[in-house]
Amino acid sequence: MSDYASSFGTLFLVCAVAAVGAAPAIAAPTADGPVEGIAFVQNLGGIEEYRLTGNGLAILLVPDHSAPVVTFQVTYRVGSRNEVTGTTGATHILEHMMFKGSEAYSDAKGNSVKQYLERVGGEYNASTSVDRTNYFATLGAKDLEGYIAIEADRMRRLLLREGDRQAEMTVVRNEYERGKNDPDNLLIEDVTAAAYVALPYHHPTIGWLSDIEHVPIEKLRAFYDTFYWPNNATVTVVGDFDTRTTLQWLKQYYGVYPQSPAPIPEIYTQEPAQTGERRVLVKRPGELGSVVIAHKVPNGRDVDQPALDVLDAILSSGKSARLYRALVDSGLALSAAAGTDLHRDLSLHTLYAQLAEGATHAQVEQALLAEITKIQTHGVTAAEVLRVKQQYIAADAYRRDGTAGAAAEINEWIAVGDWTLYVRFPQLVAAVTPEDVQRVARKYFAPDEATVGWFVPENPEQPSP
Partner 1 sequence: MNSRSLALFLSLCLCALPVAAQMAKRAARAPVQGIDLVTYHTDVKDVVVLVGAFPAGDAFAGVGNAAIPTLTGMMLERGTSTQDQFAIAQQLEDVGAEITYAVGPQSLQVRAKCLKKDLALVIGIIAAELRTPALTAAEFDKARQQLVGMLESSLQSTDARSQEAFARAVFPPGSPNRPHTLEELLAAAKSANVDQLRAFHAAYYGPAHFTLVLAGDVAMNETAELVGRAFAGWSGGQAYLDGPATAATAVAAGHVAAPAGGEIRIPLADKTSVSVLLGQATNLRDRDPDGLALHVGTAILGEGFTSRLMSTVRDREGLTYGIGATVFDDTLTPGAWEIEATFAPSLLPKGVASMRRELQHWWQDGVTEAELALRKQGLIGAYFVGLSTTTGLADRILLTIQRGYDLDWLTTYPVSVEALTAPAINAAVKAHLDPKTMVLVEAGSL
Site residues for partner 1 per CB under 8 A: 1-3, 65-69, 99, 107, 114-115, 118-123, 138-140, 143, 166-178, 180-181, 183, 240, 284-288, 317-320, 325, 328-329, 331, 334, 354, 356-357, 386-387, 390-395, 397-398, 400-403
Say which residues have a Cβ less than 8 Å from residue 402's Cβ, sequence separation at least 6: none
Q: How far apart are CA 53 and CA 343, in angstroms?
A: 28
Identity of the residue, 269 or 427, whose beta carbon is nearer to partner 1 in the bound complex: 427
Rounded to 5 degrees, φ, ψ at 291 are -130, 135
Identity of the residue, 171 or 267, whose beta carbon is nearer to partner 1 in the bound complex: 171
DSSP state of 360: -
In whole angstroms, the minimum distance from the beta carbon of 68 to partner 1 comes to: 5
Identity of the residue, 76 or 392, whose beta carbon is nearer to partner 1 in the bound complex: 392
22: how many CB neighbours lie within 10 A of its CB? 10
In whole angstroms, the minimum distance from the beta carbon of 107 to partner 1 comes to: 8
In whole angstroms, the minimum distance from the beta carbon of 373 to partner 1 comes to: 22
Rounded to 5 degrees, φ, ψ at 6 are -85, 145
Identity of the residue, 59 or 97, whose beta carbon is nearer to partner 1 in the bound complex: 97
In whole angstroms, the minimum distance from the beta carbon of 457 to partner 1 comes to: 8
Q: How far apart are CA 231 and CA 222, in angstroms?
A: 17
DSSP state of 38: E
Q: What is the 3-state secondary structure (H, E, C) of 181-225?
A: CCHHHHHHHHHHHHHCCCCHHHCCCCCCHHHHHHCCHHHHHHHHH
Identity of the residue, 2 or 464, whose beta carbon is nearer to partner 1 in the bound complex: 2
Q: How far apart are CA 253 and CA 113, in angstroms?
A: 15
Using CA atoms, how far residue 64 sits from 135, 237, 286, 406, in Å, is 20, 10, 47, 11
Say which residues have a Cβ less than 8 Å from residue 172's Cβ, sequence separation at least 6: 89, 92, 93, 96, 206, 212
Identity of the residue, 115 or 373, whose beta carbon is nearer to partner 1 in the bound complex: 115
Q: Which amino acid is at 6?
A: S
In whole angstroms, the minimum distance from the beta carbon of 375 to partner 1 comes to: 18
Identity of the residue, 103 or 357, whose beta carbon is nearer to partner 1 in the bound complex: 357
In whole angstroms, the minimum distance from the beta carbon of 37 to partner 1 comes to: 29
Say which residues have a Cβ less than 8 Å from residue 123's Cβ, sequence separation at least 6: 2, 137, 138, 139, 404
Please give the angle made by the CA atoms of 75, 81 and 82, to the nearest 5 degrees: 80
In whole angstroms, the minimum distance from the beta carbon of 15 to partner 1 comes to: 10
Question: 456: part of which helix (H) or strand (E)?
Answer: strand 450-457
In whole angstroms, the minimum distance from the beta carbon of 142 to partner 1 comes to: 9
Identity of the residue, 347 or 411, whose beta carbon is nearer to partner 1 in the bound complex: 411
